[in-house]
């Protein structure tokens, strides 16, 4: 039996200035925290094989999912089914902080990308692949 992993997730997310930080990777899911700077965005993408649930810890933003756009703020949750085009933008003056759960995992276990540019470069180089199970 595996040991329990415990996070005070809002506190952990708020303390990270990194664009993307993988906190935990299991066999079927993955927990990632993200900080999007003012004026920044995750970038339009589609995860063909991953469902994603995003929960917003602080800041204000805009969720664009499957052709529909809504405002998001602290306490909001957005579910993105696999194969759905999506993007999340920071529309406020403070960082947009969130945590997201991927199923199955989408990123390399333990990966940290300080900036969006660093994340994009790692993805392009194939250094951000999820673990094989």
pLDDT in tens, 104-126: 998 888 888 888 888 888 777 77
Q: Can you name the residues that pair with 100 across neighbouring β-strands? A: 32, 54
At 75, list the tokens: 């306490």
The residue ranges of DSSP E strands in 26-95, in sequence order, are 30-36, 51-58, 60-65, 68-73, 77-80, 86-90
Rg of the chain taking only CA atoms, in angstroms: 14
* Domain-wise residue ranges, the chain: 9-119
pLDDT band with cut points at 50, 70 and 90 for residue 3: confident
Express each pLDDT in 68-96 by its tens digit: 999 999 999 999 999 999 999 999 999 99
The yes or no reply on domain 9-119 and CATH 2.60.120.10 is: yes
State residue 43's pLDDT score.
94
Which of 16-20, 45-49, 87-91, 109-113 comes out lowest in average pLDDT?
109-113
Q: Are 76 and 23 in contact (CB under 8 A)?
A: no
């Amino acid at each position: 039996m595996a040991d329990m992993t415990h996070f005070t997730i809002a506190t952990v997310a708020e303390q990270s200035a990194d664009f993307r930080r993988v906190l935990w990777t299991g066999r079927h899911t993955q927990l990632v925290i993200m900080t999007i700077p003012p004026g920044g965005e995750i970038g339009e993408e589609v995860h063909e094989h991953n469902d994603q649930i995003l929960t917003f810890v602080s800041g204000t933003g805009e969720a664009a999912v499957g052709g529909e756009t809504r405002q998001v703020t602290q306490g909001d949750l957005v579910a993105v089914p696999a194969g759905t085009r999506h993007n999340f933008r920071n529309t406020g003056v403070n960082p947009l902080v969130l945590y997201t759960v991927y199923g199955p995992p989408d990123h390399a276990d333990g990966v940290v990308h300080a900036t969006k540019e660093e994340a994009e470069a790692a993805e392009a180089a194939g250094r951000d692949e999820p673990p094989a199970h």
